């Protein structure tokens, strides 16, 4: 073989290599389809579950396409407790029984105490949408709140919650004095809301309230109207007294951290965006139902009244320092910083508050 032939072969190989390299550079990155499961312990009739499907699942691929991404998500949806019960929502996501889903932080007082801050700061705001927006912002900004999810192998995407609490009783409530000695269902942290007015807290759950009042176990309940109306609590507790104990964060949309780490940047960006939209969409749906049910209560025989402003203020003033007790119990987790940041955000949003828990003596 002559030197000229060798040079020609080498030159041709160089051209082929350059062409191949150019083709690799010009070819777009390979697309990826991610098979993900979205699940919940509760049915889609509830706004914080239904919006998982109608906002997050339904819009995810639309958003990916709109941003020019070739990635897609193939969703499997299973709700209503088909995979796990309401007490196992955190473990189900963290352990990978589902890839993503609704997590009820209100049942995770020991593992996620910081997420229950609103239950220890009653009478702050009845504005559910703004309250949950604040909780989302705090989660983005504060490592203390992020760590509570990541310690359970979950990534937080968006908060969920319920509207403000009122009283449903089988007796008229014209003043705080009428609650003295009465047995009022107030489970979990809400028991602390009523002790200072002389009421006796009774434990219970939404499906048990009707029977507890009907059988005399309790004289009434501190409850959300969107829960009370569908369960017909007005039949056994026809006196509805509007108090406004405050909107509450009850949980949120989370995704398994191992799954999250394996997603593309495009998919993570879209799910982060939809997590924020999920929060607002479900909160607005909750409030629409609240307004609708509140208007219908007189039509079904309930007597609706407002607790006098002076009595509400007396209730507020008579509460023990629930927030400080919560801070003391969770100081190691950074509860003090979370409380101060929460109240700062509330004030910055110009929400109508009856108490500044960060300044409470």
The sign of the dihedral angle between the CA atoms of 303, 247, 157, 259 is negative
CB-side exposure of 107: number of CA atoms within 13 Å? 13
Q: Where are the domains of the chain?
A: 33-109+128-160+250-289, 165-247+290-352
In terms of Cα–Cα distance, which of 253, 185, 223 is closest to 36?
Answer: 253
CA 115 to chain CA mean position, Å: 9
> What integer pLDDT is reported at residue 61 of this predicted model?
98
pLDDT at 346: 97
Average pLDDT by consecutive 10-residue portion of the chain (361 residues)? Answer: 42 42 46 96 96 98 98 98 95 98 95 97 98 98 97 98 98 97 95 96 94 98 97 98 98 98 98 98 98 98 98 97 97 97 97 94 75
Q: What is the CATH number of domain 33-109+128-160+250-289?
A: 3.40.190.170
pLDDT at 24: 40
pTM: 0.90
CATH class of 165-247+290-352: alpha beta
Q: What is the DSSP string of 82-101?
A: SS--GGGHHHHHHTTSSSEE
d(CA 193, CA 179): 12
Tens of pLDDT, residue by residue over 79-92, are 999 999 989 999 99
Average per-residue pLDDT in the chain? Answer: 92
pLDDT for 30 equals 72
Token pair, residue 273, equals 């965006």
Whether residue 201 contacts residue 184, with contact meaning beta carbons closer than 8 Å, is answered with yes
pLDDT, residue 6, reads 37
CATH fold match for the domains 33-109+128-160+250-289 and 165-247+290-352: yes
Give the pLDDT confidence of 328-350 residue by residue, as tens digits. Answer: 999 999 999 999 999 999 999 99
- Alpha helices, DSSP H, located in the chain: 3-26, 47-51, 58-66, 89-94, 128-141, 143-150, 191-195, 209-214, 225-228, 257-261, 265-296, 309-318, 322-329, 335-348
Looking at residue 361, its pLDDT comes to: 75
**CA 54 to each of CA 8, 50, 82, 285: distance values in angstroms, whole numbers, following the listed order:** 63, 6, 19, 12
- The residues, ordered by sequence, that sit 6+ positions from 341 with a Cβ below 8 Å of its Cβ are 138, 141, 142
pLDDT tens readout for residues 295-336: 999 999 999 999 999 999 999 999 999 999 999 999 999 999
- The angle at the Cα of 36, spanning 152 to 265, to the nearest 5 degrees, equals 80
What DSSP designation does 217 have? S
């Amino acid at each position: 073989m002559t030197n000229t032939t060798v040079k020609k072969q080498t030159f041709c190989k160089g051209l082929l290599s350059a062409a191949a390299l150019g083709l690799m550079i010009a070819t777009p990155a390979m697309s990826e389809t991610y098979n993900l499961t979205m699940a919940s312990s509760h049915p889609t009739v509830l706004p914080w579950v239904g919006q998982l499907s109608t906002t997050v699942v339904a819009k995810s691929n639309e958003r990916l396409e709109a941003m020019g991404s070739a990635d897609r998500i193939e969703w499997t949806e299973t709700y209503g407790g088909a995979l796990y019960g309401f007490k196992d929502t955190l473990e189900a996501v963290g352990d990978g029984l589902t890839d993503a889903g609704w997590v009820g932080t209100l049942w995770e007082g020991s593992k996620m105490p910081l997420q229950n801050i609103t239950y220890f700061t009653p009478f702050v705001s009845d504005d559910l949408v703004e309250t949950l927006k604040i909780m989302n912002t705090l989660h983005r900004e504060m490592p203390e709140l992020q760590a509570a999810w990541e310690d359970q192998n979950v990534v937080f995407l968006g908060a969920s919650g319920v509207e403000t609490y009122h009283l449903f009783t089988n007796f008229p409530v014209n003043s705080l004095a009428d609650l003295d000695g009465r047995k009022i269902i107030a489970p979990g942290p809400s028991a602390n809301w009523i002790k200072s007015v002389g009421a006796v807290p009774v434990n219970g759950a939404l499906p048990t309230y009707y029977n507890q009042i009907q059988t005399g176990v309790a004289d009434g309940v501190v409850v959300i109207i969107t829960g009370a109306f569908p369960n017909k609590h007005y039949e056994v507790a026809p006196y509805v007294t509007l108090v406004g104990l405050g909107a509450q964060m009850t949980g949120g949309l989370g995704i398994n951290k191992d799954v999250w780490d394996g997603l593309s940047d495009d998919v993570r960006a879209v799910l982060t965006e939809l997590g924020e939209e999920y929060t607002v969409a479900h909160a607005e749906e909750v409030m629409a139902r609240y307004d609708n049910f509140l208007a219908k209560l007189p039509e079904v025989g309930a007597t609706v009244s407002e607790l006098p402003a002076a009595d509400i203020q007396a209730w507020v003033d008579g509460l023990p320092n629930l927030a400080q007790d919560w801070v003391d119990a969770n100081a190691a987790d950074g509860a003090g910083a979370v409380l101060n940041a929460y109240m700062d955000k509330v004030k910055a949003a110009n929400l109508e508050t009856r108490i500044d828990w960060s300044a409470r003596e």
